[in-house]
Structure 1
């Protein structure tokens, strides 16, 4: 996965910089997400691994997208096809989305708790993390009863584990060392 990210990152950056410069981030996001879905289609996935010329792939891809790509989007697809990179479009779309979120000074935060959080708890978590990270926080909450109590908060590289299971593991590690 990290190799795909490494290869996809320059494409995502170029697409994002172009979209910012031309004030069309939403349009590019939609084009990349649609293109990623086309690549994820099982039939298209099979076609991408066949020995097909770049021109044939581009013509097929653009015809499948049927008006979903503007002129610049079609050129982007052509460049990716010429470099044999159409299969990484889902990674490009994901990285583009991350760049968009970062520019908007937002961060997606995953909160896994043992029980459902109340609106007040969500608000407090969001406000507290917003201050700590100096960004607008988008909470993605889920429930995992195996945590027993507490929660695990993940925001990029930051992980805050206040679950009962996490605390017991830390205590066990401390007692063993």
Structure 2
């Protein structure tokens, strides 16, 4: 995995540079996410590895409708360098660069039950105050948490779940 990230990093930086210069950061983010989802499909991965596949066919398969010529050229470069399998890593690294440039923190809030929109907004406001940046929140449900929530915002993880508290109590009692 770390080798894939190392190989993907220059491509993600190049994509970010192209998108930033053109003022199309969100569009490139969506196009890369689409291409990454398609490329990650096992059936598509088999087709992408076929020796008779042309660059034009690969671009047609991976580029979403409305993607610009620059995005198609980028996919063609990945095809020529046999790096289409890195699209999921490239998309992830690109989003990190984009969120850093836009001063946005991406946070995932995992709770034992679905949270109401008002509660998610309260969490978003608290995270905005803590980080001093805009916050993009993704909600998820994990019933194994029993209650409470876990907030994962990059390097910061706030575990307020009952499962987490029981785990910390168990660790404290065992030592």
TM-score by length of 2: 0.82
2:96 to 95, 98, 118: 98
Determine if the alignment matches structure 1 residue 62 to structure 2 residue 74: no
Contact kept, 8 Å, 1:113 with 1:144, in 2: the verdict is yes
Give the superposed CA RMSD: 2.5
Partner of 2:45: 45
Q: Which residue of 2 aligns with 1:16?
A: 16
Tell me what 1:78 maps to: 76
Q: Cα deviations across residues 19-62 of structure 1 (Å, max 9, x unaligned)?
A: 1122222443344344334434555422322345xxx5313223
The separation in 2 between residues aligned to 1:149 and 1:161, in whole angstroms, is: 11
Shift of 1:122: 2.1
Aligned-residue offset at 1:154: 0.8
Q: Is contact 2:48-2:58 (8 Å) kept?
A: no
Q: State how far apart, in whole Å, the 1-side matches of 2:111 and 2:11 are.
A: 36
Number of corresponding residues: 174
Query: How many Å apart are 1:17 and its aligned residue?
Result: 1.0
User: 1:116 is matched with which residue: 114, 117, 138?
Assistant: 114
1:170 matched residue in structure 2:
168
32-41 or 98-107, which deviates more: 32-41
Bigger CA radius of gyration: 1
Q: CA deviation at 1:77?
A: 2.4
Q: Which residue pairs with 2:154 in the alignment?
A: 156
Whether the 8 Å contact between 1:106 and 1:137 is mirrored in structure 2 is yes
* 80-89 or 12-21: bigger deviation: 80-89
Tell me the alpha carbon deviations over residues 123-169 of structure 1, each in whole angstroms, 9 at most, x when there is no partner.
Answer: 22111111111111222222323222221111112111111121111
Please state whether the residue corresponding to 2:23 is helix, strand or coil.
Answer: coil
**Aligned partners of 2:157 and 2:172: how far apart in 1?**
19
